[in-house]
Structure 1
Amino acid sequence: MSDLSALRHNTEVIADILIIDDHPTLRRGLIQLLELEDDLKVVGEASGGRQGVELAASLDPDLILVDLNMPEMDGFETIAALRDAGVSSRIIVFSVSEDREDVVKALKTGADGYLLKDMEPEQLVENIRSAANGKMAISHKLTEALAMALQQRDSGSDRPAYDSLTKREKQVLKLIAGGLSNKMIARKLDITEGTVKVHVKRLLHKLHMRSRVEAAVWLTEQKGN
């Protein structure tokens, strides 16, 4: 066993993952791939958006992988429904589409990252792990689209000022911007992970935001003003 494998073997699970994709073969392949990683655990799979939203509400996963092209309820509608339902899990689009408009729309709808299905397995796993640890996960060829998505955000003039946030909300926001996952924030603040999730939900709602990425960028802009 390599040093890296030994390290992963002794590492606790950092993310419970839910997969929402209408292709059973892809779901099964992805599950088998992630089963090789001791720190990533698939806790549920859904063949469509409605089922995915229901599972997300009951399982409360750390990370959700969502396909865009699904019948009845596409990925954009699914992401919106997840955010409208108060799901604060990190949402990563997992799609074949490299269309810039799809990337921009997904991130503005509430996704925290965007990965392409043609990625090499090792690269995919590392991106999922990075996302689980609170980092931005996006395929390299799509970074320009990410910049566009951030530039096209609304001005946020109707959002409350930073000073209106509570001390705890500021602490959580700062740690989110620092790329910490809910588990890591809980340890840092010596509170339960469930409490962190509640704070994140309230914080995003208060700021009228739909993703942690948007909150992190906003905080950076506030510090720059």
Structure 2
Amino acid sequence: MTRAQILLVDDHPTLRQGLAQLISLEDNLDVIAQAGSGDEAISLAIKHAPDLILLDLNMKGLSGIDTLIALKRAEIDSKIVIFTVSDSESDVLQAIKFNTDGYLLKDSEPEELIEKINLAIQGEFVISAPLTKILARSLRPESKASSPLENLTQRELQNLKLIASGKSNKDIANTLGIAETTVKVHVKNLLKKLGLKSRVEAAVWAVEHKIGH
């Protein structure tokens, strides 16, 4: 089995070690390196090209956001997920603005954290459950999602409900008994109809409009 390689970036060594021990219990995950600063993270990311970078937000020196921006500019292909104690709306939205692949809270349950890490490696945008409503509240004033639900087909509505519940395209395909490529078409169509740009916006929109509840 090929193990996904992970780079941990946090200026607290004790936290890094604890996180590394948790991840090491998984057969499919491997902590390839650890960095205590943004500058070190950039150097190690270039050297190791990890599958995933777990990046602390509030670090001394180069901040998590500045590190995220620098990694993107360096064209690092790794998935980059913010891992922080901050549930601030401004922090969440700023991270998304600069194309993070996820935003997870440090008080996440171990099982949830491992699940989200695996989803992020597979290409899914991941976010801690408590932040979904924060996103919805923050995006509401600027929401472009004014199209009525009547514009969605029954199948597109099913896809939207499953996206809101955190399902990946593969999970949706298995649930509905259709091909994953078909799911991607449905998702693309429903995003266009609702005036949205991404799956995370669709999940937020669904929460706002109580879809599936």
Q: Does 1:100 align with 2:89?
A: yes
Where in structure 1 are there 5+ consecutive unaligned residues?
1-10, 154-176, 180-216
- Residue number in structure 2 paired with 1:55: 44
Q: TM-score under structure 2 normalisation?
A: 0.65
Shift of 1:124: 1.0
Q: Distance in 2 between matches of 1:138 and 1:30?
A: 18
1:154-173 pair list within 5 angstroms: none
Q: Does 1:116 align with 2:81?
A: no
Paired positions, count: 157
1:14-163 pair list within 5 angstroms: 15-147=4-136, 148=138
Q: Distance in 1 between matches of 2:140 and 2:102?
A: 12
Q: Which amino acid aligns with 1:105?
A: Q
Structure 1 segments of 4 or more deviating over 2 A?
Answer: 144-153, 217-225
Shift of 1:144: 2.9
Where in structure 2 are there 5+ consecutive unaligned residues?
144-167, 171-186, 196-213
Q: Distance in 1 between matches of 2:131 and 2:5?
A: 26
Shift of 1:149: 6.1
Q: Distance in 2 between matches of 1:107 and 1:40?
A: 25
Q: CA RMSD in A?
A: 2.9
Any idea what SS the aligned residue of 2:19 has?
helix
Deviation string 1:127-147 (CA, Å, 9 cap, x unpaired) is 111111222211001013445
Whether the 8 Å CA contact 1:79–1:111 is kept in 2: the answer is yes
Q: Distance in 2 between matches of 1:150 and 1:80?
A: 26
1:202-221 pair list within 5 angstroms: 221=191
Q: Distance in 1 between matches of 2:188 and 2:39?
A: 31
Whether the 8 Å CA contact 1:92–1:115 is kept in 2: the answer is yes
Q: Which amino acid aligns with 1:130?
A: L
Judged with a 3 Å threshold, the aligned counterparts in structure 2 of structure 1 residues 20 and 149 are, in CA distance, closer, same or farther, namely farther
Judged with a 3 Å threshold, the aligned counterparts in structure 2 of structure 1 residues 76 and 41 are, in CA distance, closer, same or farther, namely same
Judged with a 3 Å threshold, the aligned counterparts in structure 2 of structure 1 residues 20 and 137 are, in CA distance, closer, same or farther, namely same
Q: TM-score under structure 1 normalisation?
A: 0.62
